[in-house]
Amino acid sequence: MGARVLECKRDEERKTVRRVDELVDEGLADRSELEVLERVADRFDVAITKDLVEIITHADHPAPIARQFVPSRRELTILPEERVDPIGDDPHSPIKGITHRYPDRLLLKPVLVCPAYCRFCFRRERVGTGSESLSREELARAFDYIRAHEEVWEVILSGGDPLILPPRKLAEIVQALSSIDHVRVMRVHTRVPVIDSSRIDVAMIRALRSPRLTTYLVLHTNHASELGPEAKSACARIVDAGIPMLAQTVLLRGVNDDAKTLDTLFRELVVLRVKPYYLHHGDLAVGTGHFRTTIEEGQAIVGELRKSLSGIAQPTYVLDIPGGFGKVPAGPNYVGIEGDGGFRDVEDPWGRRHPYPPVGNE
Protein backbone atom coordinates (compact mmCIF):
# COMPACT_ATOMS: atom_id res chain seq x y z
CA MET A 1 0.00 0.00 0.00
CA GLY A 2 1.46 3.39 -0.98
CA ALA A 3 2.18 6.11 1.58
CA ARG A 4 -0.48 8.37 0.09
CA VAL A 5 -3.20 5.72 0.57
CA LEU A 6 -1.98 5.01 4.10
CA GLU A 7 -1.98 8.71 4.92
CA CYS A 8 -5.53 9.19 3.68
CA LYS A 9 -6.72 6.11 5.56
CA ARG A 10 -5.21 7.46 8.77
CA ASP A 11 -6.84 10.83 8.08
CA GLU A 12 -10.28 9.26 8.28
CA GLU A 13 -9.52 8.32 11.87
CA ARG A 14 -7.47 11.37 12.83
CA LYS A 15 -9.43 14.08 10.99
CA THR A 16 -6.41 15.85 9.55
CA VAL A 17 -7.31 19.24 8.05
CA ARG A 18 -6.20 19.29 4.41
CA ARG A 19 -8.43 21.76 2.59
CA VAL A 20 -8.54 25.52 2.92
CA ASP A 21 -12.30 25.49 3.51
CA GLU A 22 -11.66 23.14 6.45
CA LEU A 23 -9.17 25.65 7.83
CA VAL A 24 -11.96 28.24 7.75
CA ASP A 25 -14.40 25.83 9.43
CA GLU A 26 -11.87 25.18 12.22
CA GLY A 27 -11.34 28.90 12.75
CA LEU A 28 -7.74 28.69 11.55
CA ALA A 29 -8.19 30.99 8.54
CA ASP A 30 -10.45 33.86 7.56
CA ARG A 31 -13.07 33.24 4.87
CA SER A 32 -11.98 36.45 3.12
CA GLU A 33 -8.60 34.76 2.51
CA LEU A 34 -10.13 31.66 0.94
CA GLU A 35 -9.25 32.41 -2.69
CA VAL A 36 -5.63 33.40 -2.11
CA LEU A 37 -5.02 30.51 0.28
CA GLU A 38 -6.37 28.11 -2.33
CA ARG A 39 -3.60 29.37 -4.62
CA VAL A 40 -1.04 28.70 -1.90
CA ALA A 41 -2.43 25.20 -1.30
CA ASP A 42 -2.29 24.44 -5.02
CA ARG A 43 1.49 24.73 -4.87
CA PHE A 44 2.41 23.78 -1.30
CA ASP A 45 0.55 20.99 0.48
CA VAL A 46 -1.57 21.74 3.54
CA ALA A 47 -2.05 19.30 6.41
CA ILE A 48 -2.73 20.05 10.06
CA THR A 49 -3.28 17.10 12.37
CA LYS A 50 -5.94 16.86 15.05
CA ASP A 51 -3.19 17.27 17.68
CA LEU A 52 -2.10 20.54 16.11
CA VAL A 53 -5.66 21.82 15.79
CA GLU A 54 -6.07 21.17 19.52
CA ILE A 55 -2.83 22.98 20.34
CA ILE A 56 -3.67 25.98 18.15
CA THR A 57 -7.25 26.35 19.35
CA HIS A 58 -6.55 25.82 23.06
CA ALA A 59 -3.03 27.13 23.67
CA ASP A 60 -2.48 30.31 25.67
CA HIS A 61 -0.20 31.49 22.87
CA PRO A 62 -1.44 29.81 19.66
CA ALA A 63 0.10 32.21 17.12
CA PRO A 64 3.62 30.67 17.09
CA ILE A 65 2.13 27.26 16.32
CA ALA A 66 -0.43 28.47 13.79
CA ARG A 67 2.21 30.43 11.92
CA GLN A 68 4.19 27.22 11.37
CA PHE A 69 1.34 25.23 9.83
CA VAL A 70 -1.47 27.51 8.59
CA PRO A 71 -0.84 28.69 5.00
CA SER A 72 -0.29 32.39 4.36
CA ARG A 73 -0.56 34.61 1.30
CA ARG A 74 3.07 35.58 1.97
CA GLU A 75 4.12 32.17 0.61
CA LEU A 76 3.29 33.44 -2.87
CA THR A 77 6.15 35.96 -2.64
CA ILE A 78 9.16 34.27 -4.22
CA LEU A 79 12.51 35.99 -3.70
CA PRO A 80 15.35 35.80 -6.26
CA GLU A 81 17.70 34.01 -3.88
CA GLU A 82 15.22 31.25 -3.02
CA ARG A 83 15.71 27.78 -4.44
CA VAL A 84 13.65 24.66 -5.12
CA ASP A 85 16.53 22.62 -3.64
CA PRO A 86 17.91 25.08 -1.08
CA ILE A 87 20.40 22.80 0.68
CA GLY A 88 21.54 20.96 -2.45
CA ASP A 89 20.16 17.44 -2.02
CA ASP A 90 20.09 16.76 -5.76
CA PRO A 91 23.86 16.84 -6.48
CA HIS A 92 24.38 14.27 -3.72
CA SER A 93 21.54 11.88 -4.59
CA PRO A 94 23.09 9.03 -6.60
CA ILE A 95 19.89 6.96 -6.59
CA LYS A 96 16.28 7.50 -5.58
CA GLY A 97 15.84 7.75 -1.82
CA ILE A 98 19.53 8.30 -0.98
CA THR A 99 21.34 11.57 -0.27
CA HIS A 100 25.04 11.02 0.44
CA ARG A 101 26.67 14.35 1.26
CA TYR A 102 29.16 13.34 3.98
CA PRO A 103 31.42 10.27 3.64
CA ASP A 104 30.45 8.41 6.83
CA ARG A 105 26.69 9.07 6.84
CA LEU A 106 23.79 9.41 4.46
CA LEU A 107 20.08 10.07 4.32
CA LEU A 108 17.62 7.34 3.48
CA LYS A 109 14.27 8.87 2.53
CA PRO A 110 11.76 6.01 2.40
CA VAL A 111 8.77 8.34 2.19
CA LEU A 112 8.12 11.95 1.10
CA VAL A 113 4.89 12.58 2.98
CA CYS A 114 4.26 13.95 6.48
CA PRO A 115 1.35 13.96 8.92
CA ALA A 116 1.48 17.79 8.79
CA TYR A 117 3.30 20.24 6.52
CA CYS A 118 5.50 23.01 7.89
CA ARG A 119 5.13 26.22 5.90
CA PHE A 120 8.92 26.78 6.00
CA CYS A 121 9.99 23.27 4.93
CA PHE A 122 13.20 23.17 2.89
CA ARG A 123 11.80 20.20 0.92
CA ARG A 124 8.37 21.76 0.41
CA GLU A 125 8.63 21.43 -3.39
CA ARG A 126 9.28 17.68 -3.04
CA VAL A 127 7.03 16.45 -0.24
CA GLY A 128 3.27 16.12 -0.28
CA THR A 129 0.30 13.83 -0.68
CA GLY A 130 1.18 13.24 -4.33
CA SER A 131 4.46 11.64 -3.32
CA GLU A 132 4.91 7.95 -2.77
CA SER A 133 7.05 5.79 -0.55
CA LEU A 134 9.94 3.92 -2.10
CA SER A 135 8.85 0.67 -3.69
CA ARG A 136 10.34 -2.62 -2.50
CA GLU A 137 12.63 -2.59 -5.52
CA GLU A 138 13.75 0.98 -4.87
CA LEU A 139 14.37 0.22 -1.20
CA ALA A 140 16.39 -2.84 -2.18
CA ARG A 141 18.55 -0.69 -4.46
CA ALA A 142 19.02 1.80 -1.62
CA PHE A 143 20.17 -0.97 0.73
CA ASP A 144 22.51 -2.27 -1.99
CA TYR A 145 24.03 1.21 -2.23
CA ILE A 146 24.58 1.32 1.53
CA ARG A 147 26.15 -2.16 1.51
CA ALA A 148 28.52 -1.13 -1.26
CA HIS A 149 29.75 1.94 0.68
CA GLU A 150 31.57 0.54 3.69
CA GLU A 151 32.49 4.02 4.88
CA VAL A 152 28.85 4.61 5.85
CA TRP A 153 28.65 4.30 9.64
CA GLU A 154 25.37 6.13 10.21
CA VAL A 155 22.07 6.12 8.30
CA ILE A 156 19.59 8.93 8.86
CA LEU A 157 15.94 8.18 8.14
CA SER A 158 14.38 11.36 6.83
CA GLY A 159 11.87 12.39 4.19
CA GLY A 160 9.06 13.42 4.61
CA ASP A 161 8.59 11.95 8.05
CA PRO A 162 9.62 8.30 8.36
CA LEU A 163 7.32 7.75 11.35
CA ILE A 164 4.28 8.17 9.10
CA LEU A 165 5.08 4.63 7.96
CA PRO A 166 3.27 1.72 9.63
CA PRO A 167 5.42 0.04 12.30
CA ARG A 168 5.61 -3.15 10.23
CA LYS A 169 7.12 -1.28 7.28
CA LEU A 170 9.48 0.67 9.51
CA ALA A 171 10.62 -2.54 11.21
CA GLU A 172 11.52 -4.02 7.82
CA ILE A 173 13.75 -1.03 7.10
CA VAL A 174 15.41 -1.22 10.52
CA GLN A 175 16.01 -4.96 10.12
CA ALA A 176 17.57 -4.43 6.69
CA LEU A 177 19.93 -1.77 8.05
CA SER A 178 20.78 -4.02 11.00
CA SER A 179 22.01 -6.67 8.58
CA ILE A 180 24.66 -4.33 7.14
CA ASP A 181 27.78 -4.83 9.28
CA HIS A 182 29.37 -1.41 8.82
CA VAL A 183 26.18 0.51 9.73
CA ARG A 184 26.29 1.05 13.48
CA VAL A 185 23.98 4.02 14.10
CA MET A 186 20.50 4.89 12.84
CA ARG A 187 19.12 8.37 13.33
CA VAL A 188 15.41 9.12 12.80
CA HIS A 189 14.30 12.69 12.06
CA THR A 190 10.64 13.30 12.92
CA ARG A 191 7.96 15.69 14.15
CA VAL A 192 5.50 12.90 14.97
CA PRO A 193 5.86 12.94 18.79
CA VAL A 194 4.61 16.55 18.71
CA ILE A 195 2.18 16.65 15.79
CA ASP A 196 0.66 13.14 15.92
CA SER A 197 1.75 11.71 19.24
CA SER A 198 -0.55 8.68 19.34
CA ARG A 199 1.56 7.10 16.60
CA ILE A 200 4.27 6.61 19.23
CA ASP A 201 2.82 3.38 20.55
CA VAL A 202 4.31 0.06 21.60
CA ALA A 203 4.48 -1.22 18.02
CA MET A 204 6.27 1.90 16.76
CA ILE A 205 8.85 1.82 19.54
CA ARG A 206 9.43 -1.88 19.00
CA ALA A 207 9.99 -1.19 15.31
CA LEU A 208 12.63 1.46 16.09
CA ARG A 209 14.71 -0.77 18.32
CA SER A 210 17.43 -3.08 17.10
CA PRO A 211 19.79 -5.31 19.11
CA ARG A 212 22.70 -4.34 16.84
CA LEU A 213 22.01 -0.75 15.79
CA THR A 214 22.14 2.23 18.12
CA THR A 215 19.03 4.31 17.42
CA TYR A 216 18.73 8.04 18.04
CA LEU A 217 15.46 9.89 17.55
CA VAL A 218 15.78 13.56 16.60
CA LEU A 219 12.66 15.58 17.33
CA HIS A 220 11.89 18.69 15.30
CA THR A 221 10.21 21.21 17.61
CA ASN A 222 10.27 25.01 17.51
CA HIS A 223 8.25 26.31 20.46
CA ALA A 224 7.51 25.17 23.99
CA SER A 225 3.76 25.40 23.32
CA GLU A 226 4.14 22.34 21.08
CA LEU A 227 5.15 20.26 24.08
CA GLY A 228 1.76 19.52 25.57
CA PRO A 229 0.88 16.50 27.74
CA GLU A 230 0.56 14.10 24.78
CA ALA A 231 3.88 15.16 23.27
CA LYS A 232 5.61 14.87 26.64
CA SER A 233 4.19 11.38 27.13
CA ALA A 234 5.34 10.34 23.66
CA CYS A 235 8.88 11.54 24.39
CA ALA A 236 8.86 9.71 27.72
CA ARG A 237 7.82 6.47 26.02
CA ILE A 238 10.71 6.78 23.57
CA VAL A 239 13.38 7.60 26.16
CA ASP A 240 12.09 5.04 28.64
CA ALA A 241 12.49 2.43 25.91
CA GLY A 242 16.22 3.18 25.81
CA ILE A 243 16.18 5.35 22.67
CA PRO A 244 18.10 8.59 23.27
CA MET A 245 16.51 11.75 21.91
CA LEU A 246 17.96 14.92 20.44
CA ALA A 247 16.08 17.96 19.17
CA GLN A 248 16.52 20.28 16.23
CA THR A 249 14.86 23.67 15.96
CA VAL A 250 14.52 26.14 13.11
CA LEU A 251 14.97 29.82 13.91
CA LEU A 252 11.75 31.40 12.62
CA ARG A 253 10.71 35.02 12.55
CA GLY A 254 7.48 35.50 14.48
CA VAL A 255 7.75 32.07 16.11
CA ASN A 256 10.90 31.83 18.22
CA ASP A 257 13.22 34.67 17.15
CA ASP A 258 14.02 35.85 20.66
CA ALA A 259 16.22 34.45 23.40
CA LYS A 260 13.44 34.14 25.99
CA THR A 261 11.29 31.91 23.78
CA LEU A 262 14.18 29.63 22.87
CA ASP A 263 15.42 29.53 26.46
CA THR A 264 12.01 28.24 27.55
CA LEU A 265 11.95 25.63 24.80
CA PHE A 266 15.46 24.32 25.39
CA ARG A 267 15.00 24.08 29.15
CA GLU A 268 11.76 22.16 28.69
CA LEU A 269 13.46 19.76 26.29
CA VAL A 270 16.25 19.03 28.76
CA VAL A 271 13.65 18.32 31.46
CA LEU A 272 12.09 15.84 29.01
CA ARG A 273 15.53 14.19 28.57
CA VAL A 274 15.84 15.54 25.02
CA LYS A 275 19.18 17.20 24.18
CA PRO A 276 18.91 20.36 22.04
CA TYR A 277 21.15 19.52 19.09
CA TYR A 278 20.83 22.01 16.22
CA LEU A 279 19.34 25.48 15.88
CA HIS A 280 18.99 25.87 12.11
CA HIS A 281 19.18 29.18 10.32
CA GLY A 282 16.22 29.36 7.93
CA ASP A 283 16.98 27.85 4.53
CA LEU A 284 16.38 29.64 1.22
CA ALA A 285 13.28 27.57 0.44
CA VAL A 286 10.79 28.98 -2.05
CA GLY A 287 8.18 31.27 -0.50
CA THR A 288 9.67 31.32 3.00
CA GLY A 289 11.30 34.75 3.17
CA HIS A 290 8.85 35.97 5.81
CA PHE A 291 10.21 33.33 8.20
CA ARG A 292 13.92 34.07 7.84
CA THR A 293 15.96 36.17 10.24
CA THR A 294 19.35 37.60 9.37
CA ILE A 295 22.43 35.65 10.43
CA GLU A 296 23.40 38.58 12.66
CA GLU A 297 20.06 38.36 14.45
CA GLY A 298 20.60 34.65 14.99
CA GLN A 299 24.10 35.19 16.33
CA ALA A 300 22.83 37.80 18.78
CA ILE A 301 20.13 35.43 20.05
CA VAL A 302 22.66 32.61 20.48
CA GLY A 303 24.92 35.01 22.36
CA GLU A 304 22.08 35.83 24.76
CA LEU A 305 21.39 32.13 25.31
CA ARG A 306 25.01 31.51 26.24
CA LYS A 307 24.58 33.90 29.17
CA SER A 308 21.72 31.93 30.70
CA LEU A 309 21.76 28.29 29.58
CA SER A 310 23.97 25.45 30.71
CA GLY A 311 25.88 23.52 28.09
CA ILE A 312 23.43 20.62 27.88
CA ALA A 313 20.64 23.06 26.94
CA GLN A 314 22.54 24.83 24.14
CA PRO A 315 22.24 23.63 20.54
CA THR A 316 24.73 24.52 17.81
CA TYR A 317 23.53 27.33 15.56
CA VAL A 318 24.13 26.08 12.01
CA LEU A 319 23.79 27.31 8.46
CA ASP A 320 23.28 24.91 5.54
CA ILE A 321 25.36 26.28 2.67
CA PRO A 322 23.23 26.50 -0.52
CA GLY A 323 24.35 24.17 -3.28
CA GLY A 324 24.97 21.09 -1.17
CA PHE A 325 28.21 22.10 0.57
CA GLY A 326 27.07 21.05 4.03
CA LYS A 327 26.31 22.55 7.44
CA VAL A 328 28.67 24.91 9.27
CA PRO A 329 28.44 26.49 12.73
CA ALA A 330 27.22 30.08 12.42
CA GLY A 331 27.35 31.23 16.01
CA PRO A 332 29.36 34.18 17.34
CA ASN A 333 33.14 33.85 17.56
CA TYR A 334 34.51 34.64 21.00
CA VAL A 335 38.23 34.15 20.25
CA GLY A 336 40.02 36.93 18.37
CA ILE A 337 43.07 36.70 16.13
CA GLU A 338 46.58 36.66 17.55
CA GLY A 339 47.83 40.09 18.64
CA ASP A 340 50.94 41.57 20.27
CA GLY A 341 53.11 39.02 21.99
CA GLY A 342 50.98 36.18 20.68
CA PHE A 343 48.12 37.03 23.01
CA ARG A 344 44.55 36.51 21.81
CA ASP A 345 41.58 38.66 22.72
CA VAL A 346 38.80 36.47 24.17
CA GLU A 347 35.27 37.73 24.81
CA ASP A 348 33.20 36.19 27.61
CA PRO A 349 29.40 35.68 27.34
CA TRP A 350 28.76 39.11 28.88
CA GLY A 351 30.90 41.01 26.37
CA ARG A 352 33.95 41.54 28.59
CA ARG A 353 37.33 41.01 26.93
CA HIS A 354 40.28 39.07 28.33
CA PRO A 355 43.82 38.36 27.09
CA TYR A 356 44.71 34.70 26.51
CA PRO A 357 48.46 33.93 26.48
CA PRO A 358 50.25 32.04 23.70
CA VAL A 359 50.50 28.31 24.43
CA GLY A 360 52.07 25.28 22.80
CA ASN A 361 53.54 26.01 19.37
CA GLU A 362 51.80 29.35 18.83
Active site positions, annotated: 101-102, 105, 114, 118, 121, 123, 283, 320, 327
Query: Which residues, 6 or more positions from 359, have their beta carbon under 8 angstroms from its beta carbon?
Result: none
Query: Which residues, 6 or more positions from 169, have their beta carbon under 8 angstroms from its beta carbon?
Result: 110, 133
C-alpha to C-alpha distance for 80 and 356, rounded to whole angstroms: 44
Q: Residue 33's closest CA among 50, 42, 21?
A: 21
C-alpha to C-alpha distance for 337 and 317, rounded to whole angstroms: 22
Residue 293 to residues 78, 154, 255, 258, Cα–Cα distance (Å): 16, 31, 11, 11
Amino acid at 74: R
C-alpha to C-alpha distance for 79 and 97, rounded to whole angstroms: 29
Tell me if residue 352 falls in helix, strand or coil. Answer: coil
Residue 207 to residues 81, 180, 199, 240, Cα–Cα distance (Å): 41, 17, 12, 15
Q: Residue 10's closest CA among 207, 182, 163?
A: 163
Amino acid at 218: V
C-alpha to C-alpha distance for 309 and 263, rounded to whole angstroms: 7
